[in-house]
């Protein structure tokens, strides 16, 4: 800052010189072409470093990743600043859009000062590593990884044991707190250097509309969805009271976070048997089927790939099978959180995931492969357009495919002998609601928290309280043990530690139902929406491909229109899908209220 001021004074004192000539449109295009070439090269290097770190966390890979991240973010910030010269020109639409995407592309934008740049990249790499290595040691000899603790939450119904691992995992994050505080300061500095109010404002500017319009869109969608979530929440809560007792659950209308089968209470499919509607058994359990057939990790991925090839997509390249990480290595630290990679513009696609042979991971495999097939579909786009229409689209693709994993589909591929009749519908819908409806408010609250943190509305001394206030407000969930500001529970969630924006998952959970409904309509499906599978429908594949091939070249409403005929995100497809469950939940909840068995 001092340096810049000094420079201005110097210029003012210098004799008048001819003003720099106005740049031309031709120069603007040459500039952005060059920027893309430079960034593509740095991005590939950064990808190699990140892969090495995420699959082998040691001091050296941490340093390599910090340096590669820093180089990429610094170059992006420098180019974004240079691009300002051209912004006043009457630019062709593609050049203008690329300049915009350039400015928005880095989630923790680099500040101007090189020392700040290094500090920011160092903190980011460190936080990721802490999360990946995190363990809870009951005794010095008995340490549990996140993966071990997730097993407990999935399978145990002993509240003491559940509480122990819930608290145990959250011992990993308090050391992150101070660094996170500094991380917020530095990313805000970078965002301000680019002309945004703070880093949260930059994130909210990624949706082809003014940021305030975007938050209003989120509110509108949540209003559409909230009644369904509330019905599910009330029913699940009353079933938990039946299981664990009124005292264990409490009388405040909230659900203790350790009873929902998931470390973050973000999706509840693992308590399926506890919440299943009586007398509506779909008659199969995918986890048991996979276990029974001894389906291994690679085979699970092959089945997922099979869905995509049935739609007409090419099989994944040989290198995918050679370079991906499918299982948790025994001899080294890795970041187990699932991710999909495009290391060298679609020539080197990979996934990294510590797969377990269960239904939850089977679905996540489809999610990850959706990323890879998206990446391949837009590979011919110029670098800055290699992304999805908005980040929700990328997250929605694989989930759309997974909605087609119906009993009918499982029978077609030989995993299931008999398809349940209509009597299994409620059970099927409940499973899906526990997975996807339960997720919705969590998908919103994570970034509501971060936006407040970035804007300064929530200060470091209120980090943890603000997190749980939002969990209560949106999810109706509460911590099962007293929390304080010595804790840092947000850091126990991967996307906070790794600085991955989260609203994308909320959007995805709306978009995937919209995509699915449109594709099902096209296949001529009749009957309840949730029984539709577009497996092996080449026309569905073509339509998906057409949307994905656009990459980020057009504003997202264009891509949505190509896919669904509508230019608006719309939660009515979610309501359509779950309509029979919603009426059943409402009548059950009314009955329980009347008999006093559900204290709301
Ligand atoms: O992080 C993921 C994917 C990778 S993009 C596994 N998801 C969110 C999460 O795990 O919190 C998918 C659903 C939400
Ligand atoms: Zn994803």
Please count the other Cβ atoms lying within 10 Å of the Cβ belonging to residue 98. 26
Residue 346 region, left (φ>0) first, then alpha (ψ -120 to 50), else beta?
left
Residue 195 region, left (φ>0) first, then alpha (ψ -120 to 50), else beta?
left
Note if 367 is an active site residue.
Answer: yes
What pLDDT score was predicted for residue 346? Answer: 86
Nearest CA among 446, 438, 450 for reference residue 493:
446
Q: What is the Cα–Cα distance from 200 to 490, expressed in whole angstroms?
A: 16
Note if 338 is an active site residue.
Answer: yes
Give the least confident one: 12-26, 281-295, 390-404, 572-586: 12-26
pLDDT of residue 17 exceeding 80, the answer is no
Model confidence pLDDT, tens digit, residues 541-594: 999 999 999 999 999 999 999 999 999 999 999 999 999 999 999 999 999 888
What pLDDT score was predicted for residue 300? Answer: 98
| Spacing, Cα 465 to ligand 2 middle (Å) | 28
Q: What is the Cα–Cα distance from 493 to 472, expressed in whole angstroms?
A: 17
Instruction: Give the three-state DSSP class for 36.
Output: helix
The percent of residues above 90 in pLDDT, for the chain, comes to 94
Note if 371 is an active site residue.
Answer: yes
What pLDDT score was predicted for residue 596? Answer: 61
Determine which one of 368, 435, 512, 588 is catalytic: 368
What pLDDT score was predicted for residue 598? Answer: 47
**Cα dist from 69 to 49, 50, 76, 200, whole Å:** 9, 8, 11, 20
Mutate to test the pocket of ligand 1, among 393, 505, 506, 509 (most ligand atoms within 8 A of CB): 505
Note if 40 is an active site residue.
Answer: no
Residue 272 maps to a domain: no
What pLDDT score was predicted for residue 10? Answer: 37
Residue 8: pLDDT band (50, 70, 90) is: very low
Note if 530 is an active site residue.
Answer: no
Determine which one of 269, 297, 305, 395 is catalytic: 395
Starting from the CA of residue 369, give the closest ligand.
2
Nearest CA among 201, 254, 57, 231 for reference residue 590:
231
Model confidence pLDDT, tens digit, residues 490-513: 999 999 999 999 999 999 999 999
Q: What is the Cα–Cα distance from 248 to 113, expressed in whole angstroms?
A: 52
Note if 495 is an active site residue.
Answer: yes
Written as six digits, the tokens of 406 are 């119906």
Question: How big is the chain, counted in residues?
Answer: 600
Question: CA 555 from chain center: how many Å?
Answer: 20
Residue 93 maps to a domain: yes
| Spacing, Cα 498 to ligand 1 middle (Å) | 12
- Protein residues with CB under 6 Å of any ligand 1 atom: 266, 338-339, 364, 367, 505
What pLDDT score was predicted for residue 16? Answer: 53
Note if 509 is an active site residue.
Answer: no
Q: Over range 426-439, report the average pLDDT.
A: 98
Atom of ligand 1 nearest to the CA of 264: 11
Query: How many domains does the chain contain in total?
Result: 1
Residue 592 maps to a domain: no
Model confidence pLDDT, tens digit, residues 93-121: 999 999 999 999 999 999 999 999 999 99
Written as six digits, the tokens of 127 are 């936080």
Mutate to test the pocket of ligand 1, among 337, 340, 441 (most ligand atoms within 8 A of CB): 337
Q: Over range 54-58, report the average pLDDT.
A: 98
Residue 178 maps to a domain: no
Residue 98 maps to a domain: yes
Residue 18: pLDDT band (50, 70, 90) is: low
In the block, tokens 């505080």 appear at 181
Residue 346 maps to a domain: no
Instruction: Give the three-state DSSP class for 45.
Output: helix
| Spacing, Cα 389 to ligand 2 middle (Å) | 14
Per DSSP, the residues of 277-295 read PTT---S--HHHHHHHTT-
Alpha-carbon dihedral 374, 377, 383, 387, rounded to 10 degrees? -30
Residue 100 belongs to what domain range?
Answer: 25-118
Residue 325 maps to a domain: no
Model confidence pLDDT, tens digit, residues 216-236: 999 999 999 999 999 999 999
Give the pairing of strands 477-478 and 255-256. Answer: parallel
Mutate to test the pocket of ligand 1, among 304, 367, 399 (most ligand atoms within 8 A of CB): 367
Residue 268 maps to a domain: no
What pLDDT score was predicted for residue 371? Answer: 98
Model confidence pLDDT, tens digit, residues 337-378: 999 999 999 899 999 999 999 999 999 999 999 999 999 999
């Amino acid at each position: 800052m001092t340096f810049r001021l000094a420079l201005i004074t110097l210029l003012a004192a210098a004799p008048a010189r001819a003003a720099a000539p106005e740049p031309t449109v031709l120069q603007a295009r040459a500039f952005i072409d060059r920027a893309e070439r430079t960034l593509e090269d740095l991005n590939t290097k950064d990808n190699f470093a990140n892969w090495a770190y995420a699959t082998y966390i040691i001091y050296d890979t941490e340093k390599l990743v910090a340096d590669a991240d820093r180089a990429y973010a610094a170059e992006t910030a420098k180019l974004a600043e240079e691009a300002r010269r051209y912004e006043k020109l009457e630019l062709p639409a593609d050049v203008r859009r690329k300049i915009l995407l350039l400015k928005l592309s880095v989630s923790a934008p680099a500040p101007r000062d090189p020392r700040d740049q290094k500090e920011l990249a160092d903190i980011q790499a460190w936080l990721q590593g802490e999360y990946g290595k995190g363990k809870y040691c009951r005794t010095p000899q008995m340490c549990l990884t996140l993966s071990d603790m997730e097993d407990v939450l999935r399978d145990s119904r002993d509240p003491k044991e559940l509480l122990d691992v819930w608290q145990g995992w959250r011992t990993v994050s308090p050391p992150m707190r101070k660094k996170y505080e500094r991380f917020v300061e530095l990313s805000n500095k970078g965002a301000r250097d680019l002309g945004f109010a703070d880093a949260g404002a930059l994130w909210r500017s990624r949706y082809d509309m003014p940021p305030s319009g975007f938050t209003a869109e989120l509110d509108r969608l949540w209003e559409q969805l909230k009644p369904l979530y509330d019905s599910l929440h009330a029913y699940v809560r009353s079933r938990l009271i039946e299981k664990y007792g009124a005292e264990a659950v409490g009388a405040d209308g909230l659900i203790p976070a350790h009873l929902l089968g998931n470390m973050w209470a973000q999706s509840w499919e693992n308590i399926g048997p506890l919440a299943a509607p009586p007398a509506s058994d779909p008659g199969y359990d995918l986890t048991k089927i996979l276990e029974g057939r001894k389906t291994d990790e690679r085979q699970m991925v092959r089945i997922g790939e099979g869905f995509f090839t049935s739609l007409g997509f090419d099989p994944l390249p040989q290198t995918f099978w050679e370079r991906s990480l499918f299982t948790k290595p025994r001899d080294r630290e890795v970041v187990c959180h699932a991710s999909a990679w495009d290391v060298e513009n679609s020539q080197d696609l990979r996934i990294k995931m510590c797969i377990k042979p269960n239904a939850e991971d089977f679905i996540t495999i489809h999610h990850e492969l959706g990323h890879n097939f998206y990446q391949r579909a837009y590979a011919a786009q110029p670098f800055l357009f290699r992304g999805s229409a908005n980040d929700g689209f990328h997250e929605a693709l694989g989930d759309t495919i997974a909605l087609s994993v119906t009993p009918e589909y499982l029978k077609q591929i030989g995993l299931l002998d008999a398809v349940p009749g209509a009597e299994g519908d409620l059970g099927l819908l409940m499973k899906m609601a526990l997975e996807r409806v339960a997720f919705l408010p969590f998908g919103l609250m994570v970034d509501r928290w971060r936006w407040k943190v970035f804007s300064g509305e929530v200060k470091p001394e209120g980090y943890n309280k603000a997190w749980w206030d939002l969990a209560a407000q949106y999810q109706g969930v509460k911590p099962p043990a007293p929390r304080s500001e010595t804790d840092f529970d947000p850091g126990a969630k991967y996307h906070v530690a790794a600085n991955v924006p989260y609203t994308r998952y909320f959007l995805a959970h709306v978009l995937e139902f919209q995509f699915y409904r449109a594709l099902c309509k096209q296949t001529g499906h009749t009957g309840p929406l949730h029984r539709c599978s577009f497996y092996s429908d080449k026309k569905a594949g073509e339509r998906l491909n057409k949307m994905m091939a656009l990459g980020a070249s057009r504003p997202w409403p264009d891509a949505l229109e190509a896919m669904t005929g509508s230019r608006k995100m719309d939660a009515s497809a979610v309501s359509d899908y779950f309509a029979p469950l919603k009426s059943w939940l409402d009548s059950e909840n009314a009955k329980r209220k009347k008999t006093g068995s559900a204290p709301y």
